[in-house]
Chains A and B, each alone.
Chain A
Amino acid sequence: MASLIHCPHCGVRPKEEFSIRGDASLIRPDPEASDEAWNDYVHIRSNPRGRYREHWQHVAGCRRWLVVERDTFTHEVFAVTDAASSAREAGR
């Protein structure tokens, strides 16, 4: 994972073409959601050892945000998908 990422739009690319933002399982809460929900969203991380969904942006390529699903210990990548598609599927 940490060497090559298969961008769904551009193909296999080196790590340095990407920037990484963090946990992709977090969903920005509704403006009316509780303080706790907002604090959790901004500050709390599940940080699992194992399967994890992470936001990577292909900054030097297509500039799309991607959801990279991978293992945080073995670094095996299970899937890379477009973040907007994932967000739409999640109903955002």
Chain B
Amino acid sequence: MTAYRLASGGLIDRSAPLDFRFDGRNLTGFSGDTLASALLANDQLLVGRSFKYHRPRGIVTAGPSEPNALVTIGKGADSDPNTKATVAELYSGLDAHSQNRFPSLKYDFGAVNGLLSPFLGAGFYYKTFMWPAAFWEKVYEPIIRKAAGLGRAVLERDPQAYEKCWAHCDLLVIGSGPTGLMAALTAGRAGLRVILADEDFRLGGSLLGETARVNDASAQDFTETVLAELRSLPNVTMMPRTTVFGWYDDNVFGAVERVQKHVALPQAKLPVERLWRIAAKRALLATGAEERPLVFGGNDRPGVIMAGAMRTYANRFGVAAGKSVAIFTNGSAGYRTAADLAAHGVEIAAIIDSRAEGADVAPDGVRVIRSASVIDTKGRQRVCGAVVERSGFEQTIACDAIAMSGGWNPVIHLACQRGAKAIWSEDLKTFLAPDVGNGLVVAGAAAGRYTLAGCLKDGAEKAVVIAADLGFSTVSHTAPAVEGEIDPSFTALWYSPGAKAKAFVDFQNDVHVKDIGLALREGFGHVEHAKRYTTNGMATDQGKLSGINATGLLAAMQGISPADVGTTTFRPFYTPVAFGALAGTSRDEHAAPVRKSPLHGWAQRNGAVFVDSGLWFRPAYFSRGGEKTWRESTDREVRNIRENAGLCDVSTLGKIEVFGPDAAEFLNRLYCNPFLKLPVGKARYGLMLREDGMVYDDGTTSRLSHEHFVMTTTTALAGGVMSHMEYCAQVHWPDLKVRFCSSTDQWAQMAIAGPKARLVLQALVEDDISDAAFPFLAAGAVTLRGGLKARLFRISFSGELAYELAVPAGLGEAVADAVMEEGMAHGICAYGLEALNVLRIEKGHVTHAEFAGRVTPDDAGFGRMVSAQKPDFIGKRLSTRYGLTAADRMQMVGLKPVEPDQHIRAGAHLLREGAKPSTLNDQGYVSSACFSPTLGHDIALAFLKSGRERYGERVVVWDKLAGAEVVAEICNPVFVDPGNTKLNS
């Protein structure tokens, strides 16, 4: 038996000891312990250092509001900083370390800050560290940064797995204490789909530490009976270890389930944490009430613990927080702690009651000091005495722990996350949630009904109303009878007067009463200002203990009601949630799905090096033996296509089948160039604008029959164009008879380009594809040898004689292999995006590198394509705005370096020769650049002010990022075959 472990009692399994470590010490606890209860049992009260003054701090609570007992659990990449020991379930092998101390928890150099505290009051940062100016970043900030922060984030890859899951229910019950249990039971019996979620690893909430009897049984036995019935109901799902952290629109709740946080070696097939999104028709908030700390001198000394927490440690965990406990209370709850501790044989040094009178009965022989307050505490790393003041007389009461009980704060966090303001109850001296609609109903202690009988009743009654609301009928049953009921009454005490030491409001952030006073004095009296100025409530506990006390203090200091001060804003997360849990499986390579082309395998077999292109992987180039760089492969591919032929996978381009009697009219309105009279069997390049007149996307569209077109889009905007078309068809022109659907995935499509492309293809295609029979821009169905139906388009991005052949996706690889086989004799090669890019730059063809959402058709040289005849098309009207037609707009030109061995990089800017670099002198920029194997030097496409008038002029290509300046000649952007003889050959 350890120092503070009680001889008996508690819901721990004394036959199952668990070994664990704290700061390197080997300790033992029991199954059913939290880390905090096990630490207390081992006399390890001191667990951390505070944020600012590095004061020694001990465990204060037994739950999620813990401000002090933050530890790092685990090692290296597999560690969790800032874990609350009070909610960490103990397991064998748990390895915990204290934080924010150097060199050790007992001796911390940072504590020197405490001596400097007069200089470090609220807002001190803002008034100082300004002299000299340069010192902030070099000297002051690094010191402050190093001193701040709590645990250490390792920033190494997390070895654990996570996942997300959806759940749906009629009623979500949040909290499994008396209110939640009765609500779940009532609703479950009525047949509702119920989810009962609780953050604790054991369901039962406050009942687990309760000494009152319910239905003539212990509270714990009553709990077990209810849980057994709930487990038997197939429509009830119980979710222990699940924190509901947020309430979102449409009654969707975010919750995180700690699936394997309590095991030393998690199973690989299960996540360690699982994020739930729970869509609940109704929810019941049964989160109970938090005991309010008392603000008195020396209240942060290790050993000063919430009275209710002490009760929980004794009754649920069989641990005494001290051997001789002084109790400071402003209500009846302190007496209950006294009674329970006394029953366990703990000495009660005294009960210090701030009230003048009360009907409460102290345990036999315990001294009660009324109208008194604690004004200071003695001891260093554990309290050894309480300095009590009454009527001007001081006395020191020896003790090794002080229980404090300052009343109750209902836990209304979730109810106020969506903008509702908490409202002050003068009766209950606390803030309650307002009516937030019938989606979320607050019940039990969370609604200010503190008695056990009241909670049991309220939970059941509210569930009855919800069930009826949803159309379920409930069976009536009698409310459980409670014996030894509690008295929750208290008298508000925001500040215990006469403090002889710092009286802390926010323990973790070291905010004390004088800081609040200073904020008020300096004009930061608004509750949000006070929070931000003092940092009260901004620590990891988000003001669960400190928030209401700060409001009370601000009110008291100004002589106004807390109602007029209000609370700060409640926001997700109720308790902090790990990034990993919120991200689930969507991380690393699975951050976004991968799309694979039907020719992916073919490309792989041909030596492709892939690059991601949106969600797709596309071949960048095809490496052959001996080629050391991408450039070598690319240059070879380009030359080969200009001389022989090449095959490129273009399956990723969007393909949209457009049908209907109004299909041509629809396309005519969609594109800025005409489509009405496109003949059947022909393809046409189309330019699509946004309504603001800028180019949106481009591609070829072919007419396969009178009422059937197939459109291609760029890979990048395939989805966007589809949505745009749907918008136009459904919103703008719902009366046009047009239907369309994507066939992108149905087809494997390959571009076959080069002077020998026809020779290669004709060997495979049964139909005649001579220039006469299948001229440039021909499009239609063909049959491949072997009878395979395919689509063939004579279009060219490279400027060569070129075709695009589409076959059903499953047959893509086989057909590509066949093309390569037939092409072998003609020197065919596979080529990738790099070569494609060079070929199109040489030909002056544009991509999204040119359009970039800021370019008009005229900027890109398509001015004459835009139909002046059409009455309407998307983008027509705003194209005529002054700024879009101004003479000094940047227009697309070609550039070639005057010295052919010099290089041009995309992203370089353009200056007149001799002009000084400045934003005003900036003439344009390079949109695309490459080495042209065909011409033997670099070439570029660029946008230049009034560029088309300036062919033959020289500009400076200014690339300061690379430290390069190159003089280039402005030229027509079509570098290769401007007469289109190759295209039409």
Task: Give A residues with C-beta under 8 Å from B.
Answer: 1-4, 12, 14, 19, 21, 28-29, 31, 35, 38-39, 41-42, 55, 57, 59, 63-65, 74-75, 77, 82-84, 87-88, 92
Per a CB cutoff under 8 Å, which of B249, B733, B877 touches A92? Answer: B733
Can you list, as one digit per residue, whether each of B677-713 has a CB less than 8 Å from chain A (1) or not (0)? 0000000000000011000000000000000000000
Verify B878–A65 contact, CB threshold 8 A. no
Chain B residues 5-51 with CB under 8 Å of chain A are: none
Verify A65–B248 contact, CB threshold 8 A. no
Verify A4–B279 contact, CB threshold 8 A. yes
Verify A57–B727 contact, CB threshold 8 A. yes
Task: Assess A87 versus B252: contact at CB under 8 Å? Given A21-B727, A42-B878, A65-B726.
Answer: no
By beta carbon, the residue of chain B nearest A90 is: B734
Docked complex Cα distance between A42 and B869 (Å): 23
B-side interface size class: 20 to 34
Docked complex Cα distance between A87 and B729 (Å): 10
Verify A84–B730 contact, CB threshold 8 A. yes
Chain A nearest CB, measured from B730 CB (Å): 4
Verify A83–B877 contact, CB threshold 8 A. no
Tell whether B234 is near chain A: CB-to-CB under 8 Å.
Answer: no
B residues near A65, Cβ cutoff 8 Å: 726-727, 730-731
Verify A31–B734 contact, CB threshold 8 A. no
* A-B contact list, 14 entries, CB within 8 Å: A1-B250, A2-B249, A3-B249, A31-B876, A31-B877, A55-B727, A55-B731, A57-B726, A64-B726, A65-B731, A84-B730, A84-B731, A87-B732, A88-B735
Verify B871–A31 contact, CB threshold 8 A. yes
Tell whether B723 is near chain A: CB-to-CB under 8 Å.
Answer: yes
Docked complex Cα distance between A64 and B727 (Å): 8
Listed residue (A12, A41, A64, A65) with the most chain B CB atoms within 10 angstroms of its CB: A65
Chain B residues 895-910 with CB under 8 Å of chain A are: none
Tell whether B872 is near chain A: CB-to-CB under 8 Å.
Answer: yes
Task: Assess A19 versus B723: contact at CB under 8 Å? Given A84-B731, A87-B734.
Answer: yes
Docked complex Cα distance between A55 and B501 (Å): 61
By beta carbon, the residue of chain B nearest A70 is: B249
By beta carbon, the residue of chain B nearest A88 is: B734
By beta carbon, the residue of chain B nearest A67 is: B731
Chain B residues 717-756 with CB under 8 Å of chain A are: 719, 722-723, 726-727, 729-735
Per a CB cutoff under 8 Å, which of B722, B723, B730 touches A87? Answer: B730
Verify B726–A28 contact, CB threshold 8 A. no
Docked complex Cα distance between A12 and B877 (Å): 39
Verify A75–B249 contact, CB threshold 8 A. yes
By beta carbon, the residue of chain B nearest A39 is: B878
Verify B732–A28 contact, CB threshold 8 A. yes
Verify A83–B730 contact, CB threshold 8 A. yes
Verify A1–B723 contact, CB threshold 8 A. no
B residues near A14, Cβ cutoff 8 Å: 277
Chain B nearest CB, measured from A46 CB (Å): 18
Per a CB cutoff under 8 Å, which of A2, A38, A64 touches B878? Answer: A38
Verify A42–B692 contact, CB threshold 8 A. yes
Chain B residues 360-390 with CB under 8 Å of chain A are: none
Docked complex Cα distance between A74 and B726 (Å): 30
Docked complex Cα distance between A1 and B248 (Å): 9
Can you list, as one digit per residue, whether each of B247-280 has a CB less than 8 Å from chain A (1) or not (0)? 0111110000000000000000000000001010
B residues near A28, Cβ cutoff 8 Å: 691, 731-732
Verify B731–A87 contact, CB threshold 8 A. yes
Verify B731–A3 contact, CB threshold 8 A. no
Docked complex Cα distance between A64 and B731 (Å): 10
Docked complex Cα distance between A83 and B730 (Å): 6
Chain B nearest CB, measured from A1 CB (Å): 5
Per a CB cutoff under 8 Å, which of B250, B723, B729, B872 touches A59? Answer: B723
Chain A nearest CB, measured from B742 CB (Å): 9
Verify B726–A63 contact, CB threshold 8 A. yes
B residues near A29, Cβ cutoff 8 Å: 877
Chain B nearest CB, measured from A25 CB (Å): 12
Verify A92–B735 contact, CB threshold 8 A. yes
Docked complex Cα distance between A88 and B736 (Å): 11
Can you list, as one digit per residue, whether each of B116-150 has a CB less than 8 Å from chain A (1) or not (0)? 00000000000000000000000000000000000
Docked complex Cα distance between A4 and B278 (Å): 11
Can you list, as one digit per residue, whether each of B165-187 has a CB less than 8 Å from chain A (1) or not (0)? 00000000000000000000000
Chain B nearest CB, measured from A38 CB (Å): 5
A residues near B729, Cβ cutoff 8 Å: 84
A residues near B732, Cβ cutoff 8 Å: 28, 87, 92
Docked complex Cα distance between A77 and B250 (Å): 9
Docked complex Cα distance between A84 and B250 (Å): 26
B residues near A4, Cβ cutoff 8 Å: 249-250, 252, 279
A residues near B692, Cβ cutoff 8 Å: 42
Chain B residues 844-880 with CB under 8 Å of chain A are: 871-872, 876-878
Chain A nearest CB, measured from B720 CB (Å): 10
By beta carbon, the residue of chain A nearest B730 is: A84
A residues near B251, Cβ cutoff 8 Å: 3
A residues near B872, Cβ cutoff 8 Å: 31
Chain B nearest CB, measured from A2 CB (Å): 4
Verify B249–A57 contact, CB threshold 8 A. no
Docked complex Cα distance between A19 and B784 (Å): 41
Docked complex Cα distance between A87 and B877 (Å): 21
Chain A nearest CB, measured from B674 CB (Å): 15
Chain B nearest CB, measured from A57 CB (Å): 6
Can you list, as one digit per residue, whether each of B389-429 has a CB less than 8 Å from chain A (1) or not (0)? 00000000000000000000000000000010000000000
Docked complex Cα distance between A41 and B733 (Å): 16
Listed residue (B249, B277, B732) with the most chain A CB atoms within 10 angstroms of its CB: B249
Docked complex Cα distance between A46 and B733 (Å): 23
Q: Please name the 3 residue pairs, one residue from A and one from B, whose CB atoms are nearest each other, closest first.
A: A3-B252, A31-B872, A84-B730
By beta carbon, the residue of chain B nearest A38 is: B877
Chain A nearest CB, measured from B240 CB (Å): 25
By beta carbon, the residue of chain A nearest B252 is: A3
Task: Assess A2 versus B734: contact at CB under 8 Å? Given A21-B727, A31-B876.
Answer: no
Docked complex Cα distance between A21 and B731 (Å): 12
Verify B248–A3 contact, CB threshold 8 A. yes
Known A14-B277, A87-B734; further 5 A-B contacts with Cβ < 8 A:
A1-B249, A63-B722, A64-B730, A65-B730, A88-B734
Verify B723–A84 contact, CB threshold 8 A. no
B residues near A59, Cβ cutoff 8 Å: 719, 723
A residues near B277, Cβ cutoff 8 Å: 14
B residues near A55, Cβ cutoff 8 Å: 727, 731
Task: Assess A3 versus B250: contact at CB under 8 Å? Given A38-B878, A84-B734.
Answer: yes
Chain A nearest CB, measured from B80 CB (Å): 29
Docked complex Cα distance between A21 and B719 (Å): 14
A residues near B691, Cβ cutoff 8 Å: 28, 41-42
By beta carbon, the residue of chain A nearest B732 is: A28
Docked complex Cα distance between A84 and B251 (Å): 29
By beta carbon, the residue of chain B nearest A21 is: B727
Chain B residues 284-337 with CB under 8 Å of chain A are: none
Chain A nearest CB, measured from B879 CB (Å): 11
Listed residue (A1, A31, A88) with the most chain B CB atoms within 10 angstroms of its CB: A31
B residues near A74, Cβ cutoff 8 Å: 419
